[in-house]
Amino acid sequence: MRSDNPAALSGLGREKLDKRAGDFRDSQDGLNYLAAETGGFFVHNSNDLGLGIKRVLEDQSGYYLIGYRPDESTFDPRTGRRKFHHLAMKVTRPGKYTVRMRNGFFGFADAAPGASPLTPRDQIIGALTSPFGSAGVHLQLTSLFGNDARVGSFMRSMLHVDANDLTFTKQSDGWRQATFDVVAVTFGDNGNVVDELSRTDTFRVSEEGFQEVLKHGFLYFVVLPIKKAGAYQLRTVLRDHDSDRIGTAAQFVEVPDLKKDHLALSGLMINAVSKSGGETNHGSAPAAPEAGEAVRQFKTGMFMRYGFVIYNAHLDKNTRQPQLQVQMRLFRNGQVVFTGKVQPFLLNNPPDVNRLAADGGITLGADLIPGEYVCQVIVNDLLADEKHRSASQWLDFEIVK
């Protein structure tokens, strides 16, 4: 007999539902345990996958990354014997920070005794698919969303490369040269490859500039098209030809759907210049490369500049002008340490009213102690409906002594 009352479940039916729920919880426990023991967190299955991606993006907004390098006695390259080494870390200020780390590691040599060496292709694929980073070549990745009326949406990435990790050979003309492979792959929120770039490149520098390159590194630019909105992970691999050293870097980027005509912002670009007086960047002097858009290591007293693009701002039907408000805030350890004034955005005869370039800046005061910070810009469109009135972007930087 069938009941029209959805709450009227038979004992057998309720038992089946309870068993199904229990089986589902049991199936999640293993994944939850694996994530916790290897330094991550588990995003539970949900009908709204975007909530899980949002949690991942928020998790990347502020953190300290601590590395550990074991000494040579940890490994036994002669016998290949593997021993598990436990790791533990405690925070002295409970409640303020959360530690996520692997609970240990097996000590064994990079290559088992008698194993055949990996081909360059195998090395790159291994680094690209590994959940752990490689630091044979130290990389710093800054990837920013942008949109162009002609080419559409794209991901423009700056890869800062530590030149000390590359092999430079002296050429017959006196210049130094390093050759390396670069692979960049975007993964969608389902883990599938969306787009990829692969090339072999050569970096040449004169003998006069070689020491500067060793001191400051250099930038390598990668641009990948984005065909549809969504959350993406960009993973990059750089392999030095002569030494086989490999470096990896990854970043999550959220790409808005501009076709919905909702307010959106491009990625945030920030840098700093040394002040020579005044409250604007007029008369300022270029700072060291570390204070550029890729590394973002600033000192107090510098003038920090930021820039971004505003998409889909609404225009007044009579004046054909937007009514936008812009505000900047600084965070440290998740707490607001500076809140700028709300400033009206002034339209200055832009070539495209759907893509409005905005910028601003502040002097970094002496009260900002060294450490990691986040710069956030917030834009409000007073002509949009309340649900889609606000958009924001953020980017991290560091204040050093």
Judgement on whether residues 97 and 208 belong to the same structural domain of the protein: no
Q: What is the pLDDT of residue 100?
A: 76
**Is position 102 within any domain?**
yes
Q: Which helix or strand (DSSP H or E) is residue 230 part of?
A: strand 230-240
Tokens of 275: 């002040």
Instruction: Give the end of a domain, one of 82, 108, 134.
Output: 108
Residues 128 and 60 in one domain: no
CATH code, domain with 220: 2.60.40.3880
Check whether residue 341 and residue 301 sit in a common domain.
Answer: yes
User: Which range of residues forms the domain containing residue 296?
Assistant: 264-399
**Does residue 129 share a domain with residue 203?**
yes
Closest CA to 298 of 288, 307, 311: 288
> Is there a single domain that holds both residue 192 and residue 161?
yes
Measured at the CA of 230, the angle between CA 391 and CA 183, to 5 degrees, comes to: 115
Final residue belonging to a domain, choices 192, 221, 255: 255
Residues 6+ apart with CB under 8 A from 272: 287, 291, 296, 298, 299, 302, 303, 304, 305, 364
- For residue 2, being part of any structural domain is answered with no
Q: Is residue 76 part of a domain?
A: yes
Q: Are 236 and 198 in contact (CB under 8 A)?
A: no
For the chain, report the end-to-end CA distance as a whole number of angstroms: 78
Q: Across the strands, what pairs with 273?
A: 303
- Tell me what pLDDT residue 91 has: 77
> Who contacts 380 (Cβ-Cβ below 8 Å, separation ≥6)?
324, 325, 327, 389, 390
Instruction: Based on the fold, state whether residues 149 and 249 are members of the same structural domain.
Output: yes
Classify 352 as helix, strand or coil: coil
In degrees and rounded to multiples of 5, residue 37 shows phi and psi of: -75, -15
Query: Looking at residue 296, which CATH number applies to its domain?
Result: 2.70.50.60
What CA–CA distance (Å, rounded) separates 21 from 352? Answer: 54
- pLDDT value, residue 383: 95
Whether 4 is covered by a domain: the verdict is no
Interatomic CA distance for residues 245 and 132, integer angstroms: 15
Residue 311: inside a domain, yes or no? yes
DSSP readout, 20-55?
Answer: HHHHHHHHHHHHHHHHHHBT-------S-HHHHHHH
Residues 237 and 294 in one domain: no
- How many separate domains does the chain show? 3
Sort 362 into a burial class: Cβ within 10 Å, 0-12 / 13-18 / 19+: middle
Largest CA distance in the chain: 92
Residue at 226 is within a domain: yes
Strands 297-298 vs 390-399: parallel, antiparallel or unpaired = parallel
Whether residue 298 sits in one domain with residue 181:
no
Question: Which tokens hold the place of 3?
Answer: 């009941």
Would you list the DSSP string of 86-114?
E-----SSBTTB----BSEEEE--SS-TT
Identify whether residues 215 and 281 lie together within a single domain: no
Residues 97 and 128 both lie in one domain: no
Q: How many other C-beta atoms lie within 10 A of the C-beta of residue 84?
A: 9
The CB density around residue 366, as the number of other CB atoms within 10 Å, is 8
Tokens matching residue 160:
């800062």
Q: pLDDT at position 13, please?
A: 46
Over its length of 401 residues, how does the chain's per-residue pLDDT go in tens digits? 333 433 344 444 445 445 555 555 555 566 666 676 666 776 665 444 455 555 666 666 666 667 666 665 666 555 545 566 777 877 777 666 777 777 776 665 555 555 567 888 888 888 888 877 888 999 999 999 999 999 999 999 999 999 999 999 999 999 999 999 999 999 888 778 899 999 999 999 999 999 999 999 999 999 999 989 999 999 999 999 999 999 999 999 999 999 999 999 999 999 999 875 433 333 445 557 788 999 999 999 999 999 999 999 999 998 888 999 999 999 999 899 999 999 999 887 778 889 999 999 999 999 999 999 999 999 999 999 999 999 999 999 999 99
Residue where a domain terminates, one of 108, 138, 161: 108
- The total of other beta-carbon atoms located within 10 Å of residue 35's CB is 14
> Contact 57/252 with Cβ under 8 angstroms?
yes
Based on the domain organization, do 276 and 378 belong to the same domain? yes
Q: Tokens 């057998």: give the residue.
A: 12
> pTM of the prediction?
0.70
Give the Cα-Cα-Cα angle 42, 31, 125 (nearest 5 degrees).
85
In a domain, 319, yes or no: yes
Residue 198 lies in a domain: yes
- Same-domain check for residues 318 and 395: yes
Task: Kindly provide the b/e burial profile for residues 66-78, where b requires at least 16 CB atoms within 10 angstroms of the residue's own CB.
Answer: eeeeeeeeebeee
